[in-house]
Structure 1
Amino acid sequence: MNDTTAASPNDAALELDRAYVFHSWSAQAALKPLVIAGGKGSRVWDYDGRSYLDFSSQLVNVNIGHQHPAVTQAIIDQAGTLATVAPATANLMRGEAAKRIVDRAPASFNKVFFTNGGADAIENAIRLARLHTGRDKVLSTYRSYHGNTGAAIVATGDWRRIPNEFARGHVHFFGPYLYRSEFWATTPEQESVRALRHLERVIQSEGPTTIAAVLLESIPGTAGVLVPPPGYLAGVRALCDRYGILLILDEVMAGFGRTGRWFAFEGYDVTPDLIAFAKGVNSGYVPTGGVIISESIANDFETTVFPGGLTYSGHPLAMASIVAALDAMENEGIVANAARIGRDRLAPGLAALREKHPIIGEVRGEGVFWALELVADRDTRAPLSGVVMSRIKTELLARNLLPFLVDNRIHVVPPCVVTDDEVAEALAIYDEVLGLDLL
């Protein structure tokens, strides 16, 4: 065992991490992770007191901000009353959490199945769709991320699925992305129509009677904050209805305030059959997630056993954090703040950065859910290289901004509680860094 007694807390944390912690999505040898000791609101700091403005929301999940007192107190209080309980029991806090979630969902939804996070929410949404339809295939987009469990990672479209393709019955298609259109489109409306035609041809070619569900992120997040063009999600709903296919919307990243709405899909004239959630429902204070189930699907299991379950489904500490988080978000106008910040501060501020810096090819997003797509050349739209993106990350961190970078993009994703002054501070840092000679 390593002796860390003589080291500073920062050094000790890093030494222990490198000695014993195996990190996700990483080659282990070269890692030097940032040390985080504490946080409050939109800021985190290390043991030496160096503070960072958190414009990553960690993994785009700390919607309510760090260490919200109502949420931390609710966890403490619940731990003092009942720290854990089996999912087969009834517990008041679990019922209260489920009711608050259902109250914010469309009227056709009446049940919540709780999971340990977003990936197993997707797993169980797929299971429910297959059981309800008696079909096997699930269609999802190439530009997507749905989690790192068996079916969820194969439903994912990006490179991470390729070493993990062990689940059956998954088919991928291209969703809309006008900036890099697969369909030679020149307008959002054209992109929507052509993407829908492409999806219908995939459905027809795969055989509609073999397809259980279309699985979509309402707004693909890790893939680039790809705001759907007009009519697209409603068009997918219409295709699903035409062919007897269920629509699963993945709101794990986009839900619970991130877009300035409780659910991202509320802005797109669509109602799904199943909703997967996690992250923002309690800002990750305790691991949790779930599936919100429409009445017609929930009714299948009134007299038939649902063949699924988790030891920690509806864990009381997680449930207490959900109740406190959703109540605080409602009472403190946190979702409305995210909408205002997006409309009045981030949208114009990021647009101004694009006008100033040719390295920014496109700005897109809403609420506190934005992406800057960085390019080496605006005319060719050639993506900025990984080497340059690494330099950008280093420069942002050097200015005490904690960023979220994916491929050639800066994702601008602060907590929903972010203030006007904090946005101004971040915009000034982005402005300074993107103005450097980086290429």
Structure 2
Amino acid sequence: MSDHPFYFTWTAQLKALRIEIEKSRDCYYLTTEGRKLYDLSSTSYQAAFGHSFSPIKKAIQSQLNSLPISSPKGVFELKQRATQKLIEYLNIPGKIFYTVSGAESIENALKMARQISGKEIILARKNSYHGASLGALSVTGDWRTKDHKSLSKWTKRIPDPQVDPNAEKLAQLIEKIGAQKIAAICLETFIGGNGVISAPLSWWRGLAKLKKKYGFFIILDEVVCGFGRTGKPFGFHHLPIKPDFICMAKIITGGYIPFGAVWTSKEIASYYKSNTLSCGLTNYAHPLGLSAMESVIDSLKTTQLKEQIKELSHGLETYKEKFELIGVVNEVRVIGTLMAIDLKKNIPFQRFIDEDILVALVGQRIIIAPPFTMRPSILKKLLKRIEGLLKEDSHE
């Protein structure tokens, strides 16, 4: 096995999974063997428009020929127009701060929440992932945070909502810590790679009451679940909650350009009218990112893509029932075009590669997140392959 002059992420380098890629087309990769390797995880959940979506490519190419780079302080038509479209798509008035990744979106939301409140503590779930930078890792609860010295001393883990359906234990924790120390609570609307899980609606209602009583901010992480993945524009559109910050990335450009954003409420925007916003990035509101984002939003509003997403969601729901009947399967959860299959044992990743399928495989859990542009008939064919694979393992 040849060595490479670059790192592979989230792994010991000698154990790294290597996928040789020549070029990509539509919803799948072409490997060096000339095989179609179908992307059932949208790469890292971002490639929701496959790997060669003409509208996004054309938007970026056109922008390259007009305004390929701009100062963070620049004011231009695309910036105004695309930002307004994003706010309308969110369907909640506010103001946008741009980033180039999900971790940076979380970082800047945390900075603003602490700056405005003058408080330090952030509440967060144990079962969570919010990004790889130190601030984002500090509110992350899964295995990725354990080897790093982060700001975790300022993070307090809340009782899991599954065992606290009315947020009563959360209320007790807030009283114990002292509301005067708590800046915000940071939450994924629907947990993505860690299980496709949301809190009960009763918990979200309880959280809304606690926010009203104690005045802390709510930071919602929509990096995985934003831009149509859950069947609605954003995960919070399913929930009885009013956020102060909404963190976005991944599908915001379909993965074609690194990009992210933080929506802030009118109250947050009002604070920064006369107080210094000490946040900024070299590639803030990059024109290529804005052009890709605008194309994504325009595409998601089309009747054709809306119907396609509905069909894909229906396909996953149909196979949910089939997967649940297989012996090796413990539990299956689906929200929109996001599926988690919990297994009773590990299945090697190579088994899926042998079936020409890329999935997200985390321990004994399969996560499926097909591109929105995948034909429902192709999804059905691939799910049938996974069904056969799982049945084989049930008999071993």
TM-score category of the 2 structures, normalised to the smaller one: over 0.9
Gapped regions of structure 1 (runs ≥ 5):
1-13, 178-182, 184-190, 376-383
CA distance in 2, matches of 1:333, 1:204: 50
Tell me the secondary structure at the aligned position of residue 15 of structure 2.
coil
Instruction: Give yes or no for the alignment of 1:161 onto 2:119.
Output: no
Instruction: Give yes or no for the alignment of 1:329 onto 2:297.
Output: no
Tell me the secondary structure at the aligned position of residue 65 of structure 2.
helix
TM-score by length of structure 1 reads: 0.86
Letter in 1 for 2:302: N
Residue in 1 that maps onto 2:72: 87
Judged with a 3 Å threshold, the aligned counterparts in structure 2 of structure 1 residues 333 and 234 are, in CA distance, closer, same or farther, namely farther
- Alpha-carbon offset, residue 80 of structure 1: 1.5
Judged with a 3 Å threshold, the aligned counterparts in structure 2 of structure 1 residues 336 and 263 are, in CA distance, closer, same or farther, namely farther
Contact 2:30–2:37 (CA under 8 A) maintained in structure 1: yes
1:141-180 equivalence runs, <5 A: 141-167=125-151, 168-177=153-162
Letter in 2 for 1:374: L
Give the one of 391, 397, 401 matched to 2:353. 397
Letter in 1 for 2:27: S
Contact 2:244–2:264 (CA under 8 A) maintained in structure 1: yes
CA distance in 1, matches of 2:81, 2:34: 38
- Alpha-carbon offset, residue 407 of structure 1: 2.1
- Alpha-carbon offset, residue 86 of structure 1: 1.2
Tell me the secondary structure at the aligned position of residue 145 of structure 1.
coil
Residue in 2 that maps onto 1:227: 198
Residue in 2 that maps onto 1:105: 90
CA distance in 2, matches of 1:199, 1:35: 47
Residue in 2 that maps onto 1:358: 327
- Residue by residue over 1:17-56, the C-alpha shift from the partner in whole angstroms, topping out at 9 and shown as x without a partner, is x320112211112324112233333222124321111101
Contact 2:316–2:334 (CA under 8 A) maintained in structure 1: no
Tell me the secondary structure at the aligned position of residue 34 of structure 1.
coil
CA distance in 1, matches of 2:194, 2:177: 25
Tell me the secondary structure at the aligned position of residue 215 of structure 1.
strand
Judged with a 3 Å threshold, the aligned counterparts in structure 2 of structure 1 residues 80 and 42 are, in CA distance, closer, same or farther, namely same
Aligned-pair Cα RMSD in Å: 1.7
CA distance in 1, matches of 2:254, 2:51: 8
Instruction: Give yes or no for the alignment of 1:435 onto 2:391.
Output: yes
CA distance in 2, matches of 1:421, 1:411: 19
Instruction: Give yes or no for the alignment of 1:236 onto 2:207.
Output: yes
CA distance in 2, matches of 1:35, 1:137: 44
Letter in 2 for 1:136: E
Contact 2:308–2:376 (CA under 8 A) maintained in structure 1: no
CA distance in 1, matches of 2:25, 2:250: 18
> How many pairs does the alignment contain?
394
Residue in 1 that maps onto 2:41: 56
Residue in 1 that maps onto 2:123: 139
CA distance in 2, matches of 1:85, 1:99: 19
1:2-81 equivalence runs, <5 A: 15=2, 18-81=3-66
Instruction: Give yes or no for the alignment of 1:300 onto 2:271.
Output: yes
CA distance in 2, matches of 1:231, 1:437: 38
CA distance in 1, matches of 2:91, 2:175: 29
Letter in 1 for 2:286: H
Contact 1:214–1:240 (CA under 8 A) maintained in structure 2: no
- Alpha-carbon offset, residue 424 of structure 1: 1.0
- Alpha-carbon offset, residue 336 of structure 1: 4.4
Give the one of 87, 106, 131 matched to 1:122. 106
Tell me the secondary structure at the aligned position of residue 285 of structure 1.
coil
Judged with a 3 Å threshold, the aligned counterparts in structure 2 of structure 1 residues 282 and 216 are, in CA distance, closer, same or farther, namely same
Residue in 2 that maps onto 1:6: none
Contact 2:46–2:254 (CA under 8 A) maintained in structure 1: yes
- Residue by residue over 1:70-90, the C-alpha shift from the partner in whole angstroms, topping out at 9 and shown as x without a partner, is 100111111111221111111
TM-score by length of structure 2 reads: 0.95
State the identity %.
Answer: 27
Residue in 2 that maps onto 1:275: 246
Deviation larger for 221-230 or 246-255: 221-230
Gapped regions of structure 2 (runs ≥ 5):
none
- Alpha-carbon offset, residue 233 of structure 1: 2.0
Contact 2:320–2:334 (CA under 8 A) maintained in structure 1: no
Letter in 2 for 1:101: L
Residue in 2 that maps onto 1:286: 257
Judged with a 3 Å threshold, the aligned counterparts in structure 2 of structure 1 residues 228 and 302 are, in CA distance, closer, same or farther, namely same
Contact 2:89–2:297 (CA under 8 A) maintained in structure 1: no
Residue in 2 that maps onto 1:378: none
CA distance in 2, matches of 1:304, 1:21: 42
Tell me the secondary structure at the aligned position of residue 435 of structure 1.
helix
CA distance in 1, matches of 2:217, 2:127: 20
CA distance in 2, matches of 1:437, 1:277: 37
Contact 1:56–1:411 (CA under 8 A) maintained in structure 2: yes
CA distance in 1, matches of 2:165, 2:64: 49
Deviation larger for 238-247 or 305-314: 238-247
Residue in 2 that maps onto 1:180: none
Give the one of 273, 282, 288 matched to 1:311. 282
CA distance in 2, matches of 1:409, 1:437: 14
- Alpha-carbon offset, residue 266 of structure 1: 0.6
Tell me the secondary structure at the aligned position of residue 255 of structure 1.
coil
Contact 1:219–1:254 (CA under 8 A) maintained in structure 2: yes
Residue in 2 that maps onto 1:425: 381
CA distance in 2, matches of 1:324, 1:332: 15
Judged with a 3 Å threshold, the aligned counterparts in structure 2 of structure 1 residues 215 and 436 are, in CA distance, closer, same or farther, namely same
Judged with a 3 Å threshold, the aligned counterparts in structure 2 of structure 1 residues 237 and 418 are, in CA distance, closer, same or farther, namely farther
